[in-house]
Structure 1
Amino acid sequence: MADPVPLYVIGLSKDEPANEVLSSKFGSALEKVQKVLSNIIEAKITVEFQNPEGSKTHYDATATVKTSKNTLIYTASGWDILKIADELSRKLEGEYSDRENKRQRESIRKKEEF
């Protein structure tokens, strides 16, 4: 089993429930993707929010996944932090299916001629 990827949540206090939700959902997505992208160094989620004193708070979240070859960046924004966590996780898991499909492609040379 691979080592867990270090995940940092910036912009939310550690005792806030939204911090725990983001960490758990995005962390489980990182574990899934780590099977295909085994060279992940670290992951960081930066959360910015507007109108924290009012009744509604608008969140802007940016997830950055740093690998040894490149950096993957995903953004999401909205009023509900749960939906934002789901959207960021879904975008990251999209990498899993993309990489998996590329590996399973048949070679042109192996196709039979009719």
Structure 2
Amino acid sequence: MTEKIPLFVIGLPKDDPANETLSSKFGSSLDKVQQVLSHIIEAKISVETQNPEGSRTHYDATATVTTSQNQLVYTESGWDILKIADDLCRKLEGELSKHDNNRQRESIRKREY
């Protein structure tokens, strides 16, 4: 059983529905990616809002995934927090295709000599 990766959302109030959306969607993507990138230490999403008191709020989100070897940084901005969460998840899940070759490696036992 794998451990749950710590995920921190910074810049949004805890009771904000956008906070719940970001943490649930990005958390499920982290669980998917953890099967391939098992050396993930933590993940952090920092959100900056512009014009929060107006009729629309503009969000700038930066997701940082810290692994034992490097940091993966994804940025996204827009008016819709749901679209931003989906785009960040899509970018994170793009790491799966980069590591495809490692998962498709032929078994040593099945080699013919």
State the TM-score, normalizing by the size of structure 2: 0.90
Superposition deviation, residue 97 in structure 1: 1.7
Correspondence 1:35 to 2:55: no
Unaligned runs of 5+ in 2: 107-113
% same residue:
73
Superposition deviation, residue 105 in structure 1: 6.4
- Matched ranges for 1:18-97 at <5 A: 18-97=18-97
Secondary structure in 1 matching 2:56: coil
Secondary structure in 2 matching 1:52: coil
Which residue of structure 2 lines up, in the alignment, with residue 15 of structure 1?
15
Which residue of structure 2 lines up, in the alignment, with residue 111 of structure 1?
none
Q: What is the CA RMSD across the aligned residues, in angstroms?
A: 1.1
State the TM-score, normalizing by the size of structure 1: 0.89
Unaligned runs of 5+ in 1: 107-114
Structure 1 residue ranges, 4+ long, deviating more than 4 angstroms after superposition: none
Distance 1:3 1:97 in 2: 23
Distance 2:59 2:49 in 1: 4
Size of the aligned set, in residue pairs, is 105
Distance 1:25 1:63 in 2: 12
Distance 1:39 1:2 in 2: 11
